[in-house]
Structures are given as C-alpha cells and as structure tokens.
Chains A and B, each alone.
Chain A
Amino acid sequence: MSELKEGLDELRAAVREFLAAKSPESAVRATMETQPRYDPAVWQQMAQQLRLPGLALPDDYGGDGFGLTELGVVLEEMGAALLCAPFFSTVVLAAQALLASGDEAACARYLPPIAAGQSIATLAASEGNASWDPAMVSARAERSADGSGWAVTGTKSFVIDGAIADLVLVVARSTAGPALFAVHRGAPGLRAAPMTTLDLTRSMAVLTFDQAPAVLIGAEGQAGRLMSRVLDVACVALAAEQAGGARRCLELSAGYARTRYQFGRPIGSFQAVKHKCADMLVRVELAEATAREAARLADEGAAEFPVAAATAHICCSQAYLFAAMETIQVHGGIGFTWEHPAHLYFRRAKSSELLFGGPAVYHERLLDRLGI
C-alpha cells in the first residue's frame, strides 16, 4: 500500500514538473488560439520522456500495463494545468474503445502506435443530438461492393480532436445494430470541420462520412455493450481531470483570499469568503475520493465499478463547476477578466459537465447502474 502510494507520488511529481515546464498558463493560452490546438513537440516529449500515452495500456500492445489509478494521477495533473493535448481522446476514449471491443487484431494494429505517441485517435459516438446512447446512432455502415470491407455514411458531432485524429473510431449502424468501425484520416469521403467550442482548451469537430472506407472492430451489433463500458471508464478518467481542475481552482482561490486586502485585512479572514473556500474544499475532497475510489474499483475488476463510475461523474462534475464558479466570485472583478485564468477553468468545468450528456442524463445513468 505505502509502496504503491510512493510510486503514485513520484508519478505525480514527475507529471507536475513536466507540465509546469511545458504547459504553463502562457503556453495554454498560446496553444488554445492556434490550429492544431496542441503542441506536437510537447506531445512527443510526453510520450518519449514520460511514456504517458502507454502508461495504462497492456504490455502486449506496447504499454506499461498500469491501471486507471495511475492514469488518474496523470489526468488530475493535466486537468489542473488545462493541458491542450489529444490525450483524453486518444488514450482514454479511443484506446479504451479498442480494449473494450476485445478485438485482438485491432488492438495489435492500433494500440502500439498510440502507446508510442505516434498516433492520435478519437471516438466518434454522438451525433447532432449529442447523445451517447447507441440506440440513437443513425450513421450507417454497409459492406463495400466488393465485400472486402465496410463503408460508413453519416455525421458525427462533438468529436474531441476529430480534426487532428489519425484514427477515428466511429459508431455506426449495420443491419445487426450499432458497431465500432475504424476510419483513417485522409480516407475518401471523410471531412472534418472544427467546431467553435466553449472550452478553448479542448477542440471538437464535426465529422462527415460519405461512403468512407472502414474496418469493423469487434463484432457487428456489439457497440451497445462496448459503449456502456467505455462510458464508465471515460467518466472516471474525466472525473480525475475534473478533480484536478477543481483542486487547482481551490488553490487559486485560497491563495488570493490569503493575500488580497480590503477593509484593511485579508479577504480570507471574512467568514463569507472563508466559507466559500471551505465549501470548495469539501467538494474537492469528495471529488478526489470518488474519482480515485472508482479508479481503484476498476483496477480490481470490482462489481461495484459501474456505480462508482456514475457516482464519480456526478460528484466531480458538480464539484468542478462549483469550484470554478466560486473562484470567479472570490477573485471579484479580476476574476472576470480575459487575462485571469478563472474563465478557462469555468469553460472547462461547464464543458466537462455536459460532455457525456450532463444532469439530464447522468442522474438516470446512476440509477440505471444501481438497478433502480
């Protein structure tokens, strides 16, 4: 236990140091206003120096075989730093979809380049209605004329890093139901249009498929079960990012409340401000606990994992949004300026809350995982 803890502390320190050097606020701001919205040099260093993309991928596919617990530490730090990089899309969404498909040939083909940082990948699931429910998928997949492959037709929206992905895993419907397909960048019939996003640090795109050649991943009709698993894992990964971001908001607020003077005293000595900070602390502690506990249960293969994942998703979504909102209020006027980072966290918090459907969906998802 304590050995593991020390290992996690070392990992955290290494990632934090790396991000402080490579992704300070100035770099985040520069990157978020350019296309593509990530720094390829930093992405390469992340892979080569820290081996982060492969951290939680199996050894057989070029990874280091760690679990969601270790990946969670990395994501907490990335969330705190607002790193602009295709990490969540590639390492969480796409890689987890491949693993959940159980398709060993596809994993052997696509995961090693992901682990090595050579391939950016994403999962295109939701469409114009923003739903992650496989029953709502209308994109179609048909066998190609010569019978050797598939062709996908349809439109996917809110695809994270969709404009820069080398590999797009797309959920499309064949006669057997929804299934997962791989489409390569540059495939004929695939067009990507970047979307204007509330969160400037996470890019999204609309992808249009017009008879785009595709490879079936796993079995036909299998995407329902697969998406449920991917969503559980993605919710926990997102929860780690959210907990990290919320913790950073708390640190910004408490730091400001200690040093900002009004009425001749630090504003943090006023209970009205002090209690806002305490409320943030309460929520941040709970958020971290749920995110880390869910990751631990995932790594143990525990039956409680889906419930814990849904709990962490709600708890961390609410905690982050609360912390980001209160951070602006604790800072007052300066917190509403473009130059202050508070709005970057607010944007990320709101966008993360709604990424997988938000309150309209996540409450019923928890009750569903509980069998209620």
Chain B
Amino acid sequence: MTDDIPEFAREARGFLDAHARRAAGPGQFRWGVGDDSVAYFSADPPDVEEQKLRAARDWQRTRYENGFGWISGPAEFGGRGLTPVHELIYDSVEAGYDVPDTGTLSVVGLGMIGPTILAHGQQAIKDRYLPAMYRGDVVACQLFSEPEAGSDLASLQTRAVLADGEWVLEGQKVWTSVAQHSQLGMALCRTDPDAPKHKGITAFLVDMSAPGVEVRPLRQMTGGADFNEVFLTGVRVPDDHRLGEVNGGWRVALTTLMNERATVGSEGSGPVAAALTPARLSALMRATWTWDDRALRRDLSQLLTGIMATSHLNARAFRRMQAGAAPGPEMSVAKLMYAQNLTRAAHFVSSLLGPRIIADTGEWGTYAWAELLLATPALRILGGTEEIMKNILAERVLGLPKEPGIDTTSPFRDLPRSGGAQ
C-alpha cells in the first residue's frame, strides 16, 4: 500500500513548487528581531481573521483541485484514495513551504467531522457535503460539549424530538471552535432519556444558518474569544441529516473523537514552538541577566529535557506509522506532555522576566509571553482533561479496571445532576 511513497512525495513537492514558496526556515534567532508573538490562541482582530480564512479556503481549494485536498478519502467524494500514511507524508513535505494555515477548516471539519460523515452518513448527504467540505467551501464545527456535559460527554442534555418527520433540537452547546465560521455543525442530542446515557444519543448534521441557531462568542481567560456558545432553539433538522442509527449516536461520536486524539498534541510548528527553542530561551536568559543563575539554569535544562523527549517520542511514532504500524499510546502521552511542557515553559519564562510580565514595558519579547501564560491552563483541559487522558491510558494501555458506577446502566433520566436538579 505504501510502496509508492517516494513517488508520491516527489509529486507533492512538484505541486508545492508550482503553487507555493519554500519556507525561509527558522534561520538564526536574533534577540529583538521579528515577530515576538507567543500566542497559543489567535489574537487577531476580526478583519484579519476573515482575511486569513479566505486565504485558507483558497489554499484548500488549490490542494483539492490538484489531488491533495483529501488524500485518504475515497475518489467517489473527491478524495485521492490513498492511506493516512500518505497524508502524513504530504504534511511533512508541505511543512517546508510557506502556505496559509488551514486549521480553521481542517482541525475539526476535515479532520474529525468529514471522516464521521463518511462512516455514518447517508449517500445523498455524503455526496452533498463531503466534496464541498474538502474543496474548502463548507466549514464544519463540532456541537458536542455542554455546560453540564464536559468530561462526561455522554450526559449531554440537548434534546431532539421527532415531529412531522423532522427532528426539533432544543438546548445549548459550549466551547465550540470555529462555529462563527461554520456552515455545518455536527450535534449530539438526547433522543431517549429513558435509556442509559450512552444508549439514548443521536447524531445530526445541522445547517448553521437554520432558524433557531444562535452563535455567541465565548470570551476565554486570555481576553480573546476563540470559542463559542451555540444555542439551539427549535432548530428543525431533516431525518436524512441524521448520522447513524437513532439512539446510536455514541458510536458515531467515538468515530469523531478517535480522530481528535490524533490531532491534538502533534503541534510542532507555530509561534509557540518557535519560541521554545534552546536558542530563543537562552537568548532570553541573556537579555534578562539571569544567564548564570544556577537554579534557573537547572529549570531550563528540565524544561528542554521535556520538550526534546516529547519531540523524540513524536519522531519515533511518526516513523513507526510511516512503516505501517498502528499508533500506540504515544499520541495521548504527547498530549499530556505538550500541556506540561508549555505550562512549565510559561512559568520558567515568567521567572526570567520578573515584573516585566506583570506590566508591559514595551520591550521586545517580554510582555508578549503573557499570552502564553494565560493560555496554558486550557491545555490541560481541552481535547480531554488530564484526568480523563490518564484514565484512558491506564484503562486501555495498562488494562486497569474502570471505576464502578451506576451511571452507565441506569436510565439517563434518573442520574443525579449538578445542583440536585432532575
């Protein structure tokens, strides 16, 4: 299946040479030169964000028209019919070029929702949405989390009731990335409150422009608004927009989540990665006159050990996948480590900066770190909290037993809720 990889990589390089510029590379880091942003979340004003989205869509369309829009997807829906390994190869080749960041389209929509529609959607729905998504026309979001369903996603309460052959959705979703840009949402809804929680859920595709869908920005602790709340008030969804069986939505959600774990934690580029290099951090020590502080040097070594160990882990996982092996626990480990490394980095840099991170002196490369400092708590929560990730590792890899409970066998209706409400 993967014998043609060298040929495929050559073809990818040919395409990229024709349509993009080679990246300049990190080059020699020089203190005070260039962009000093260390933002994990976007800090762009709305007009810049719009402009970036347009560029992302254009680039996705170019990829699509040249056979690189959906490398592992079936040809029937505009895919290339190759393997996930080819996708990895393409990504690693593209990383050497200066191309627009397509994260808004790809992380949730193309990475998670597309494969779910492919696995569980009806033929007409696949025909209608899949080519449009991978061509860059349709942005999709994930309507999963709710105020009362965080780690315990299966306890979600948004209702869907069948009326006159259509489903009517009622409820609230939260922490929805890219909802403000989306034409399509994948919603998990409660369709049978008398069944145990995992067995009364159904998945739907929701037209985000339908009446009753309201998207409100959710301002997070950094001050920016990278997520949304989505209110669903009497939203009507045709039955052919259902994914999978009625009350079979948990299985559908697992398809989506399986693809999520593969994307978080593999972040090796961007402004944060660029800021956490030995060269940049040692320059910061020099600039802050902490160069010969033994305690801080030890902290630096500890920080770099974690960062380099994680990158060795990723490199080995990548090579194993290239050789056709199934992914092991590395992705979950990398996700936990990514959060730990960035958290440690933010606090290490704070120690170097001292008061210069509590008030902006205007000096290059100092107060800019506040963005990262304020973002790091999220990394231990999003994409599966640390506690949940550890449960998964312990249960799936080490075979430790689940915590016994009644919540998977009792009717959902009877489970205790926060605040004691039924």
Contact B323 A372 (CB under 8 A): no
Interface of B is mostly: helix
Q: Is B394 an interface residue (CB 8 A)?
A: yes
Query: Chain A binding site: helix, strand, loop or mixed by DSSP?
Result: helix
Across the interface, which residues of A come within 8 angstroms of B301, CB to CB?
Answer: 314, 362-364, 366-367
Q: Kindly state whether residue B24 has any CB partner on chain A within 8 Å.
A: no
> Is the C-beta of A274 less than 8 angstroms from some C-beta in chain B?
yes
State the CA gap A299–B124 with chains docked (Å): 54
Taking CB atoms, residues of chain A closer than 8 Å to B164 are none
A99 interfacial by beta-carbon distance below 8 Å: no
In the bound assembly, the distance between CA atoms of A250 and B397 in angstroms comes to 11
* Contact A269:B313 (CB < 8 A) given known A282-B393, A307-B308: no
Contacts of A271 on B, CB cut-off 8 Å?
387, 390-391, 403
Flag if A278 contacts B404 (CB, 8 Å): no
- In the complex, the answer to whether A2 meets B315 with C-beta atoms within 8 Å is no
Decide: B315 and A311 in contact? CB cutoff 8 A. Answer: no
Taking the closest CB of chain A, its distance from the CB of B384, in whole angstroms, is: 13
**B417 interfacial contact with A, CB 8 Å:** no
A279 to B400, CA, bound (A): 13
Report yes or no: A286 in contact with B333, Cβ–Cβ below 8 A. yes
Is B362 close to A, CB under 8 A?
A: no
Chain B residues with CB under 8 Å of A250's CB are 398
Cβ–Cβ < 8 Å partners of A116 in chain B? none
Count contacts between A and B, CB distance < 8 Å. 120
Q: Tell me the smallest distance from the CB of A289 to a CB of chain B, in Å.
A: 4
A225 proximal to B (CB < 8 A): no
Cβ of A268 under 8 Å from chain B: yes
B188 sits at the interface (CB 8 A):
no
* Chain A, residue nearest B392 (CB): A278
Chain B residue nearest to A370 (CB atoms) is: B278
Chain B residues 388-419 with CB under 8 Å of chain A are 389-391, 393-395, 397-404
Cross-chain contact B313 with A289 (CB below 8 angstroms): yes
Q: How many residues in B have their beta carbons less than 8 Å from beta carbons of A?
A: 40
A364 to B296, CA, bound (A): 11
CB of B219 within 8 Å of the partner chain: no
CB proximity to B under 8 Å, residues A312-340: 314-315
Contact between B393 and A286, CB atoms less than 8 A apart: no
Q: How far is the CA of A274 from the CA of B301 in the complex (A)?
A: 29
A76 to chain B, nearest CB (A): 15
- Residues on A with C-beta less than 8 A from B324 are 2
List, in ascending order, chain B residues with CB within 8 A of A293's CB: 312, 315-316
Assembled-state Cα–Cα distance A279/B332 (Å): 12
Q: Which chain A residues (127-171) contact chain B, with CB distance < 8 Å? A: none
A263-290 CB mask vs B (1 if < 8 Å, else 0) is 0011011110111011101100110011
> Closest 3 CB pairs between A and B?
A363-B301, A268-B400, A278-B390
